[in-house]
Structure 1
């Protein structure tokens, strides 16, 4: 792991999203000045910068037809987000350390429902975690056998207010992808620190050796990608401590329905070479960038050509060419890095943690350093579900810790 400086990163109360006029570039500039800020036009965004002349009023679908932007569809957008999540999900929770080592796997179920109408509609989520035989717990789904017990955790409701002000959802309804942030440690307190994922009544950790996050993480970001082939999704969590150091990575791999979900792709025995080899080669695709929040409109689209190679010296070389829609702006960014076990550390202070199952998660080696240098930063989640097809989400933050935009990528291997 790259060395970490000891600047402290604290997040002020979140404010309204920046106005569209400030968001004509990806990455974005700062929404307002503060003591050590300056306008930011560059970020660690995997070398990808897509720009256009301004926020477009319409977006073209794959057939070339125009459709309204999400700016005028906030209620419909929220309803679409709810519908995408509704149902009962069966899956597994995987915890990795910052170096990509699998620490623990636990079976989970998630029940998602909604109530209310229009602006008052809310999403209710209840997480059930399979308990060891000795743990005290409450019953989960009614149709479970008596021998199987599940701890129940209520997750904070999502509604129009929380989605825009606190969670800052970056949602792509057509692509079935979203990213959101947690302003507080509430999710961690309710899930990771109780019952099977925390301390039991005797004060001992159960299960043993499960790493708990700091009491006040600086950033908790959730990125969700849905399978292109079936009703399965991967939800990835970046958890960073108050100093801006990546503390742990979480994956929920879930299938809609009540059957027994099996995820053989997540295996602790996969070697380091196998983890990077699926990503090597040349990729071509398209990106869409949106402002954060339920009112977020598309602000940039671009065609992407990316390559990732390893030379005979063991260096990892990445080249990314981004051409904005209309072809008026083209950006080429080369990256060079080294591979250390499951980590790829690029020059400039950005790291990718390679995970089993065709996934990786990226973040700055030191967010506090980005803050000290008045630089925006980004977090990334990539899922290569099948050979030759991958999806990525990039969540861009300003130096106040405000999530200002989200970019969705779909790419195929050439």
Structure 2
């Protein structure tokens, strides 16, 4: 098994893309071209990270970081996928959120989810990247039709202590219920959760769960799953999905317990049945 640092090294390279700011409803606010460089130094014992924002009306802005260890709020999977964010949720926090990163071949997808001081989902940044000189195309906008069907997967949960890991099978059934609704049944281990969502364009709203949730369907086959508002005393998850092909999908989940403590991440790799 790779160490957490070795998993980070799977992200090395020069990643060309854009930071796209979206409203909580998925509307475009701003799109900024970017170049992110992750370079191993000192025989890969340290990382030099450059984030360059490219503007049409002014000089580029650079942010340079160097580090040789990982902070407490980040975990990597064996694929190089990662999630970093808040260790705790508190209704008194001025800001709460997380960044997710998924890798497939020469492309990388990152999403930042932020909540405001009222614990409401407030800001979203979609980051679509490919290695410099790569010809790998961006995927189309995710649609409801692409999600429908039976999905079987394998999930690997990594606890925040790095060592408390578990692997298990998953199954999701997603069906349309008329023109404006869909139903979803999720099975993992001995658990089964059934829910329904209202379809509002590129937005799926789950109103009947303990914490009302939404899933935004985004460019590059991405999806963003968050509570509309977090309430103290309820366990919850933040999630990002990536449709890699009509029959392959990845999901990365960051989990919090009823005390608001971050417990770990789960990477789910799924395949569609009978496509």
Fold equivalence (TM over 0.5)? yes
- In the alignment, the residues of structure 1 paired with residue 225 and residue 75 of structure 2 have an alpha-carbon distance, to the nearest angstrom, of 18
Q: Does 1:276 align with 2:136?
A: no
Q: Report which of the two structures shows the higher radius of gyration computed on alpha carbons.
A: 1
Q: Which runs of structure 2 are paired with 1:147-226 in the superposition (5 Å)?
A: 150-155=60-65, 157-160=66-69, 163-165=70-72, 168-173=73-78, 175-181=79-85, 218-226=95-103
Instruction: Give the counterpart of 1:350 among 201, 207, 213.
Output: 213
In 2, Cα distance between equivalents of 1:394 and 1:318: 17
Aligned mate of 1:126, from 33, 42, 50: 50
Distance in 2 between residues matched to 1:290 and 1:237, nearest whole Å:
20
Match of 1:376 among 229, 235, 245: 235
Counterparts of 2:85 and 2:68, CA distance in 1:
14
**Contact 1:288–1:298 under 8 Å retained in 2:** no
Alignment of 1:225-236 (within 5 A): 225-227=102-104, 230-236=105-111
Asked if structure 2 preserves the Cα contact closer than 8 Å seen for 1:236 and 1:252, the reply is yes
Counterpart contact for 1:94–1:251, Cα < 8 Å: yes
Inter-CA distance 232–217: structure 2 relative to 1 (3 Å threshold): farther
The equivalent residue for 1:253 is 128
SS in 1 for 2:144: helix
**Corresponding residue pairs, total:** 265
Show the 5 A alignment for 1:125-144.
Answer: 125-132=49-56, 134-135=57-58, 137=59
The CA RMSD measured in Å over matched residues stands at 2.4
For the Cα contact (< 8 Å) 2:158–2:164, is it kept in 1? yes
- Asked if structure 1 preserves the Cα contact closer than 8 Å seen for 2:106 and 2:134, the reply is no
Q: Deviations over 1:48-104 (max 9, x none)?
A: xxxxxxxxxxxxxxxxxxxx5xxxx7xx321331x2122211112222111112223
1:390 aligns to what?
249
2:5 match: 78
Structure-2 residue corresponding to 1:95: 21
Equivalent position of 2:265 in the other structure: 406
Provide the residue aligned with 1:19 in structure 2. none
Q: Which has the higher contact order (CA 8 A, sep 6+)?
A: 1
Distance (whole Å) between structure 2 residues aligned to residue 306 and residue 261 of structure 1: 29
Give the CA deviation at 1:396: 0.5
Structure 2: gaps of 5 or more residues: 88-92
Aligned residue number for residue 192 of structure 1: none
Contact 2:242–2:251 under 8 Å retained in 1: yes
Superposed, which structure 2 residues align to 1:325-336 within 5 Å?
330-336=190-196
Higher helix share: 1
More strand by share: 2
CA distance in 1, matches of 2:218, 2:94: 22
Hey, what's the Cα distance between the residues in 2 that align with 1:253 and 1:342? 18
What is the CA distance between 1:305 and its match in structure 2?
1.1
2:219 and 2:237 map into 1 onto residues whose CA distance is 22
CA–CA distance in 1 between the matches of 2:68 and 2:96? 21
In structure 1, stretches of 5+ residues that fail to align are 1-67, 138-149, 184-215, 267-273, 324-329
Kindly provide the CA deviation profile for residues 141-177 of structure 1, in whole angstroms up to 9, marking residues without a partner as x: xxxxxxxxx221234x4442xx243xx222112x331
1:242 counterpart = 2:117: yes
Task: Report Cα offsets for 1:357-389 as digits up to 9, x if no partner.
Answer: 22111111211x2x1xx1221100000021110
Measured after TM superposition, the shift of residue 258 of structure 1 is 4.7
Cα gap change, 1:87 to 1:182, in 2 (>3 Å): farther
Shift of 1:337: 2.1
Cα separation, 2, equivalents of 1:413 and 1:94: 29
SS in 2 for 1:80: helix
Alignment correspondent of 1:286: 154
